[in-house]
């Protein structure tokens, strides 16, 4: 799973398998959260024992000179990150096989049937809707108003559809009837 998060807590930060830090549109770090302190330590990062690495990474991403050596630029971080990544590009045969089997296991659950019946799913969704309606009654009134407005609008636009009997001699009626039917079909399919 891929997630984007801004300044997570330290506990949440270390739950990630891999962290990618971007600065000025370039990757300046790509690795495990446990590698952050050591990796940026080589650039002069001073991190206290109980400091949050995510806070330091957000500073590094926005202003690398403030958090690291004043001589360090984003370009230097990008170059060093690319060198580090090249070492990790090749997988040996067992790693590739493990990755392939994990992917197959994850994809195999897509076709499985669920243990919950459709009736239970319907009751759950209905219960959520009723709870939302109870908590925010104005939203229900707004939904009813929008539905009525749409019904009135459709009735005004397509009220005369089908009333004149089309005939081969009356081509103007046929053209407007066809346009109204196409408009109705478009509105129904896109709504």
Angle between the N-to-C axes of helices 137-158 and 118-135, in degrees from 0 to 180, rounded to the nearest 10: 110
pLDDT at 141 over 80: yes
Adjacent-strand bridge partners of 21:
29
Q: Which two tokens stand for residue 8?
A: 């997570």
* Residues 24-76: tens digit of each pLDDT: 788 888 888 888 888 888 777 777 777 888 888 888 888 777 767 777 777 77
Question: What integer pLDDT is reported at residue 127 of this predicted model?
Answer: 93
Q: Residue 166 gets which letter from DSSP?
A: P
Residue 44 is predicted with a pLDDT of 76
Does the pLDDT at position 140 exceed 80? yes
What is the distance between the alpha carbons of residues 167 and 113, in angstroms, rounded to a whole number?
A: 53
Tell me the percentage of the chain whose pLDDT exceeds 90.
Answer: 6
> How would you class 137 by CB atoms within 10 Å of its CB: exposed for 0-12, middle for 13-18, buried for 19 or more?
exposed
């Amino acid at each position: 799973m891929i997630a984007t998060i801004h300044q997570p807590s330290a506990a949440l930060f270390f739950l990630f398998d891999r962290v990618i830090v971007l600065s000025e549109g370039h990757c300046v770090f790509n690795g495990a959260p446990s590698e952050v302190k050591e990796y940026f330590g080589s650039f002069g990062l001073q991190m206290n024992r109980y400091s949050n690495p995510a806070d330091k990474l957000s500073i590094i991403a926005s202003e690398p000179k403030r958090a690291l050596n004043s001589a360090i630029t984003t370009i230097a971080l990008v170059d060093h990150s690319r060198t580090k990544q090249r070492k990790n590009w090749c997988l040996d045969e067992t790693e590739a096989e493990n990755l392939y089997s994990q992917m197959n296991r994850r994809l195999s659950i897509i076709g499985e049937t669920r243990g919950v019946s459709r009736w239970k799913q319907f009751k759950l969704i209905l219960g959520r809707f009723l709870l939302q309606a109870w908590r925010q009654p104005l939203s229900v009134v707004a939904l009813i108003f929008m539905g009525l407005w749409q019904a009135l609008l459709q009735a005004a636009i397509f009220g005369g559809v089908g009333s004149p009997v089309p005939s081969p001699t009356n081509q103007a009626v046929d053209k407007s009837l066809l346009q109204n039917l196409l408009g109705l079909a478009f509105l129904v399919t896109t709504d």
